[in-house]
Amino acid sequence: MTVALDGYGAEQGFDVLAQGARLAAADGIGVRVFGPRRALGLDGVEGIEVVDTAERIGNDEDPVPAVRAKKEASVVRAAREVSNGDADALVSCGSTGATMAAATFGLRRLKGVQRPALAVQLPVPGKPVLFLDVGANVDVRAQHLVQFAFLGAAFSDAVLEVGNPSVGLLTVGEESGKGREEVVEAHRLLSEAPGINFAGNVEGRDLPAAVTDVVVTDGFTGNVALKLLEGTAKTVAAAVGDAARSNPLAAAGGLLLKPSLNGLRRELHPDSTGGAILLGLRGIAVVGHGSSGAEGIANAVRLAARCAEVDAVGRTAALLAEGGAGRAALAAEGDAGSP
Amino acid sequence: MTVALDGYGAEQGFDVLAQGARLAAADGIGVRVFGPRRALGLDGVEGIEVVDTAERIGNDEDPVPAVRAKKEASVVRAAREVSNGDADALVSCGSTGATMAAATFGLRRLKGVQRPALAVQLPVPGKPVLFLDVGANVDVRAQHLVQFAFLGAAFSDAVLEVGNPSVGLLTVGEESGKGREEVVEAHRLLSEAPGINFAGNVEGRDLPAAVTDVVVTDGFTGNVALKLLEGTAKTVAAAVGDAARSNPLAAAGGLLLKPSLNGLRRELHPDSTGGAILLGLRGIAVVGHGSSGAEGIANAVRLAARCAEVDAVGRTAALLAEGGAGRAALAAEGDAGSP
């Protein structure tokens, strides 16, 4: 089991990225890092191999042309390693756009998938929720939302081991007629679709309440919602901390409560989820948080390794193919029906 | 000062609605309630007048036809009271769609306003953020987003007394090219617009962090984001409570910390903000939370009264008219430029 890790792009620097690679390697995962050998300082570490790489794609570059032009950039080389079969999964904490472009060009889409989608396990207390798309597609049609539902359900079943996962469609009200035109149409298509446990519409408040196992939306709403959820959890946690520093009695209370709150803090921290998975490709690609700490980077590598171990791609393809006739009909109908 | 209050629609029942009316009346606000006289039990309460009303519009009705057909429904009568000049503001905790329809038909739009928008003060700790649109327009064009920015800035200035309020545009990245086509176009228009303090793009995480005074988005994203923010604050607060019940030491800590947390709990509670304001009309309309408690209903009435007191409509109209030539040019450009 080998994970190809982009050695550039971690905002906290090479030391933190290297520390994350060490943590993952200590779990027995082979890590091949494409980055600057000297800055990483990983030579001789068991389970880690460094492929010295000088070229990189920055956050400020237009992803698609950059990936096309820079054949030797770290994320492009790491993706090629996976498409060549020399590594089992790709992980990058760099530019999300560049990672998506490198993965889509390098790994190609599964049969019948029109648009790959970025999925995350939401950092909410209790039952995890798989949420997609969180940024791959800012504009979608109804049929894309339907495909995201199938991709999310397949991943939830195969990797997260949720039996018959329930899927909700994010919109502005419970009733089937609520939301944008493409959402109303996706609701109709999903209601009639065989082979999926469609639970109907869900609203913003249902996301942290974990009402369904999977929640589907477009990449604009999903990206805003994910960042809002992370920001709100952080703000509320900070406000609790402020309250605990407001007077000596409260401070004493905060100290007594702290051990019990640490578990919650871990659950709410974006690092705990290991980043976003690009679903719908013939290979595994994980986009870690740019701001990840060492534990976040290690968790991204662990998530990628786990996807490879359970053959997430093969099982997703198999689930998509099951009852494929029904879905092909859906696809045709969706294409005709949406604007 | 008289507020016309819809006597139906509060999910917690007539007693809670009546209690909310009493709280507001105790502050010296005249409240005229359109609802069932006997169930409300408000006869003889100082400052409150009940107009016995049997007809209502439910959440399950299609708002526009219902408002057109039911001339004697409580929310329609309350809106008519405002358009007749017999009351200064409308408040309803019933169907948001019906309230918007009744207000838009009854109060009409301000000159030049294409689409009224629903705005809320976000329940986040510290500096309040005015957030719109939270549900009036699920689909928007660039020019609508530009108008929301002007409406929000005018309200923030006139009612919230924020001097030269900064306005952010909600999207998926800081750079000007990020987001849906209409968002990218709105960014360009706002960057060139005179008379507005445009702070550029903001992301989901910037909402609870109160990075700008006003945040503008479409009604689909805004509705999802508002409900998500409320849900996340609730979930995190509940998880803190669970942690405080997990063992005796933590419980002791929770007790010591509780007084300091109560302020935060009030700040985060949706009731604290008094509901959503429909901006862009020639009259004042406030949509309270359906699930409001008595304090939430009273705060909705207080918010409406405050808007009337400071002549929010007149001042918004004046601010929109200032430099109107520049904005008219913008409007034409926006109409031509967006799809």
Residue A220: give its domain's CATH number.
3.40.718.10
Residue A125 lies in a domain: yes
Report the predicted TM-score, pTM, of the whole model to 2 decimal places: 0.89
CA distance B221 to B33: 33
Record: contact B225-A226, CB cut-off 8 A: no
Count of domains for chain B: 2
Residue B281 lies in a domain: no
Distance from CA of A226 to the nearest CA of B (A): 7
Angle between helices A312-321 and A294-309 (to 10 degrees): 50
Q: What is the DSSP string of B303-338?
A: HHHHHHHTTHHHHHHHHHHTTHHHHHHHHHHHHHH-
- Domain check: are B61 and B133 in the same one? no
Q: Does A312 or B128 have the greater pLDDT score?
A: A312
A125 interfacial to chain B (CB closer than 8 Å): yes
CATH code for the domain in which residue B49 is found: 3.40.50
Angle between helices A219-244 and A248-268 (to 10 degrees): 150
Share of chain A above pLDDT 70, in %: 93
Chain B residue with Cα closest to A123:
B232
First and final C-alpha spacing in chain B: 44
A291 interfacial to chain B (CB closer than 8 Å): no
- Domain check: are B52 and B172 in the same one? no
- Domain check: are B5 and B118 in the same one? no
The confidence score (pLDDT) of residue B333 equals 45
Domain that holds residue B333: 113-271+311-339
Residue A13 lies in a domain: no
**Which of B79, B107, B135 is a domain's end point?**
B107
- Domain check: are B98 and B118 in the same one? no
- Domain check: are B213 and B231 in the same one? yes
Q: pLDDT digit string (tens) for B133-177? A: 999 999 999 999 999 999 999 999 988 889 899 999 999 988 888
ipTM of the complex, rounded to two decimals? 0.87
B261 interfacial to chain A (CB closer than 8 Å): yes
CA distance B96 to A83: 52
Residues of A in contact with B170 (CB under 8 A): 224
Q: pLDDT digit string (tens) for B76-126? A: 999 999 999 999 999 999 999 999 999 999 998 998 898 999 999 987 777
Residue B315 lies in a domain: yes
Residue A180 lies in a domain: yes
Residue A221 lies in a domain: yes
B232 interfacial to chain A (CB closer than 8 Å): yes
Residue A97 lies in a domain: no
- Domain check: are B54 and B195 in the same one? no
Q: pLDDT digit string (tens) for A96-134? A: 999 999 999 999 899 889 899 999 998 777 788 999 999
Record: contact B206-A249, CB cut-off 8 A: no
- Domain check: are B12 and B95 in the same one? yes
Q: pLDDT digit string (tens) for A38-67? A: 999 999 999 999 999 999 999 889 999 999
- Domain check: are B124 and B102 in the same one? no
- Domain check: are B153 and B215 in the same one? yes
Interface probe with A: pick from B228, B265, B287, most Cβ of A within 10 Å: B228
> What order do you get walking across the sheet with A214-216 strand by strand?
A48-52, A30-35, A2-6, A89-92, A284-287, A276-279, A117-121, A130-132, A214-216, A166-170, A197-202
- Domain check: are B80 and B131 in the same one? no
Pairing of strands B285-287, B276-279: antiparallel
Residues of A in contact with B219 (CB under 8 A): 172
- Nearby residues of B26 by Cβ (< 8 Å), 6 or more positions away: B47
- Domain check: are B119 and B14 in the same one? no
- Domain check: are B163 and B251 in the same one? yes
**Which of B81, B107, B133 is a domain's end point?**
B107
Residue A134 lies in a domain: yes
